[in-house]
């Protein structure tokens, strides 16, 4: 009861928080939408250079990361089903797996970027400026910005899933009230979906 003095007592409305999350996802799509516009304009202007630069990327690591994200999307979706059946233990395990997969994704990304840096490929590098064409420089500029921004979203996702795990432990999330878990899931699917577009655009299309 003491809570009524601090804030309005709004009834719990899972639908409202889900709509809120969807609206937030729209903003994320438009954020990346801006990047995809920039990408398509420069791809259209420099088809040759984008082709050459794309071959420099390691398709194997990219494919592994794609599989990792797809599986993690599946495990977080399964955790929502588990909480609906009020199986807290299974929910915990599935969320834990999602978290580990997210971290593995970032570790792979670290090695991928690291090997690029070792070859002198990073924005503003003298080696790039002297050996690459303008189109290739643009390709790698976009590659680092877009995958970097995506990695930032993975970090936010990790924070969200951790928060969900904590609330699960505190029993604030249970079979009757699991909007945070569902919203973390929605967000995680978005992060996955963006990668599903980034992977072919940078690694596969030649």
Partner 1 sequence: MQEAQSALQASYLHHQGRFKGLLGWIFSTDHKRIGLLYLYSITTMFVVGLLLGLAMKFELLAPGKTIMEARDYNATFTVHGVIMIFMIVIPGLPAVFGNFLLPLMIGAPDVAFPKINLLSWWFYVAGVFLVLAALIFGPGTPDTGWTFYAPYSFKTGTNMLPAIFGAFVLGFSSILTGLNFIVTIHRMRAPGMKWLKMPMFAWTLYGTAWIQLLATPVVGITLVLVALERIFGIGVFDPALGGDPILYQHLFWIYSHPAVYIMILPAMGAISEVIPTFAQKHIFGYKALIISTMAIAFVGYLVWGHHMFTAGMSGTAQYAFSLLTFLVAIPSAIKVFNWISTMYKGSINLRTPFYWASSFIFVFMIGGFTGLVLGSLATNVHVHDTAFVVAHFHYIVFGGVSFSFFAAIHYWFPKIYGRMYDEHWAKVGWIMFFIGFVSLYTPMFYLGMKGMPRRYYDYLPEYHGANILSTFGSWILAMGFLVIVVNLVRSARKGELAVSNPWNGKTLEWTVPSPPPFENFKEVPVIGEKDGPYNYE
Contact positions vs partner 1 (CB under 8 A): 5-10, 13, 15-17, 19-20, 23-24, 26-28, 30-35, 37-38, 41-42, 45-46, 122-124, 133-135, 137-138, 141-142, 144-145, 149
Separation CA 202–CA 206 (nearest Å) = 9
Least spacing, CB of residue 146 vs partner 1, in Å: 10
Dist. CA 108–CA 142, nearest whole Å: 19
CA quadruple 154, 158, 163, 169: dihedral sign: positive
Give the C-alpha distances (Å, rounded to integers) separating 85 from 77, 91, 99, 111, 146: 13, 10, 21, 39, 38
By beta-carbon proximity to partner 1, the closer residue of 98 and 178 is 178
The nearer residue to partner 1, 107 or 166, going by C-beta atoms, is 166
CB of residue 100 vs partner 1: minimum separation in angstroms? 29
Min dist. Cβ of residue 15 to partner 1 (A): 7
Q: Which is nearer to partner 1, 32 or 105 (CB)?
A: 32
Rounded CA-CA distance 187/161 in Å is 10
Task: Report the nearest approach of partner 1 to the CB of residue 144 (Å).
Answer: 7
């Amino acid at each position: 009861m003491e809570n009524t003095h601090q804030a309005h007592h709004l009834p719990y409305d899972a639908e409202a928080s889900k709509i809120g999350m969807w609206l937030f996802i729209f903003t994320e799509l438009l954020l990346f939408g801006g990047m995809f516009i920039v990408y398509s304009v420069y791809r259209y202007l420099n088809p040759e250079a984008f082709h050459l630069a794309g071959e420099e990327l390691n398709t194997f690591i990219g494919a592994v990361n794609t599989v990792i994200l797809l599986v993690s999307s599946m495990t977080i979706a399964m955790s929502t089903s588990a909480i609906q059946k009020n199986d807290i233990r299974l929910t915990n395990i599935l969320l834990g797996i999602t978290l580990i997969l997210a971290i593995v994704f970032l570790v792979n990304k670290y090695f991928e970027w690291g090997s690029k840096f070792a070859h002198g490929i990073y924005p503003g590098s003298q080696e790039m400026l002297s050996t690459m064409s303008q189109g290739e420089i643009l390709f790698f500029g976009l590659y680092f910005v877009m995958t970097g921004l995506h990695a930032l979203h993975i970090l936010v996702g990790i924070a969200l899933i951790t928060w969900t795990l904590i609330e699960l432990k505190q029993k604030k999330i249970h079979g009757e009230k699991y909007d945070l878990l569902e919203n973390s899931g929605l967000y995680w699917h978005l992060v996955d979906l963006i990668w599903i577009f980034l992977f072919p655009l940078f690694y596969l299309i030649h």
